[in-house]
Structure 1
Amino acid sequence: MPNQFRVHAALFVVTVIYAANYSLSKDVMPLYMTPFGIVTLRVLGASSFFALVKYFVAPQDKIIGWADNRRSIICGICGIGVNQLLFFSGLNLTSPISASLLQTIAPIVVVIASAILLSEKITLPRVLGIAVGAAGAASLILSRNAQAAIYPHATLGNLFILANATVFGLYLVLVQPLMRKYHAFTVLARVFLVGAIVAVPFGWREALTANYASFPLKIWLEIGYMVVFLTILAYLLNNWALKYASPALLGVYIYLQPVLAVLIAVALGKDHFTLAKAGQAALIFLGVWLVSQKPKAAPVAEVPEEAVVD
Structure 2
Amino acid sequence: MISNRAKVAASLYATMSISFWGISFVSTKAVLDKLDPYTLLVIRFGIGALFLCLLLLLMRSSLKIPLTYIPHLIVLGIIGVFVHQILQATALLTIHASDAGWLISFSPVFTVMLSMIFLHEKITLPRAIGIMLAVFGVLLVTTSRNGQSLHFALNIGFILMILSTFNWAVFSILLKRLRIPLPSLVITFYMSLLGFVLTLPILIKTKGWVHMSSLTTVEWAHLLFLGIFVSGVAYWYWGKAHEVLEASQASVFMYLEPVATLIAAILLLQEKIIFISVLGGIIIIVGVVIVNGQRVLVLQNGPWRKRK
Q: TM-score, normalised by structure 2?
A: 0.83
1:16 partner amino acid: S
Displacement of 1:76 in angstroms is: 0.8
2:78 aligned partner:
77
Q: Give per-residue Cα distances to partners, 1:171-230, cap 9 Å, x unaligned.
A: 122113455622223322332333333333333435422242x33221221111111111
- Tell me if structure 2 keeps the 8 A contact 1:61–1:182: no
CA deviations over 1:241-286 (Å, ceiling 9, x no partner)? 1222234433332211112222222233531222211321132112
Counterpart in the other structure of 1:208: 209
Residues 63 and 191 of structure 1: CA distance in aligned 2, closer, same or farther (over 3 Å): farther
Q: Deviations over 1:120-154 (max 9, x none)?
A: 4443322332222122213322445279xxxx997
Q: 1:184 to 1:165 in 2, by over 3 A?
A: same
Match of 2:237 in 1: 237
In the TM superposition, residue 52 of structure 1 has moved relative to its aligned partner by 5.3
Is 1:167 paired with 2:170?
no
Match of 1:4 among 7, 19, 22: 7
Residues 71-107 of structure 1: CA deviation (Å, up to 9, x unaligned)? 3222111100001111111112111111100010111
Uncovered stretches (5+) of structure 1, i.e. residues with no partner: 301-310
Select 2:37's aligned residue among 35, 38, 41: 35
Relative to structure 2, which stretch is displaced further, 179-188 or 288-297? 179-188
Matched, 1:131 2:132: yes
Residues 1:115 and 2:136 aligned together: no
What pairs with 1:5-154 in structure 2 (closer than 5 Å)? 5-30=8-33, 32-51=34-53, 53-54=55-56, 57-59=60-62, 61-65=64-68, 68-145=69-146
CA RMSD of aligned residues (A): 2.9
**Does the C-alpha gap of structure 1 residues 247 and 184 become closer, same or farther in structure 2, counting only changes over 3 Å?**
closer
Q: Relative to 1, partners in 2 of residues 1:5 and 1:95: Cα closer, same or farther, differing over 3 Å?
A: same
**Is contact 1:93-1:153 (8 Å) kept?**
no
- The answer to whether the 8 A contact 1:23-1:270 is kept is no
Q: 3-state SS of the aligned residue for 2:226?
A: helix
Distance 1:194 1:25 in 2: 20
- Secondary structure of the structure 2 residue equivalent to 1:255: helix
Q: Distance in 1 between matches of 2:179 and 2:61?
A: 14
Q: Could you tell me whether the CA contact under 8 Å between 2:185 and 2:235 is conserved in 1?
A: no
Structure 2 unmatched runs, 5+: 304-308
Which AA in structure 1 matches 2:275?
Answer: L
* Aligned counterparts of 1:69 and 1:168: Cα–Cα separation in 2: 20
Give the number of aligned pairs: 292
Q: Tell me what 2:259 maps to.
A: 259
Q: CA deviation at 1:232?
A: 1.0
Could you say if the C-alpha distance between residues 264 and 288 of structure 1 is closer, same or farther in structure 2, counting changes exceeding 3 Å? same
Partner secondary structure for residue 292 of structure 1: helix
CA pair 223-194 structure 1, distance change in 2 beyond 3 A: closer
Query: Secondary structure of 1:93's partner?
Result: coil
SS at match of 2:188: helix
2-side partners of 1:231 and 1:153: how far apart? Answer: 31
Among all aligned residue pairs of Structure 1 and Structure 2, give the percentage whose two residues are the same amino acid: 20
The 1:174–1:57 alpha-carbon spacing in structure 2 relative to 1, beyond 3 Å, is: farther
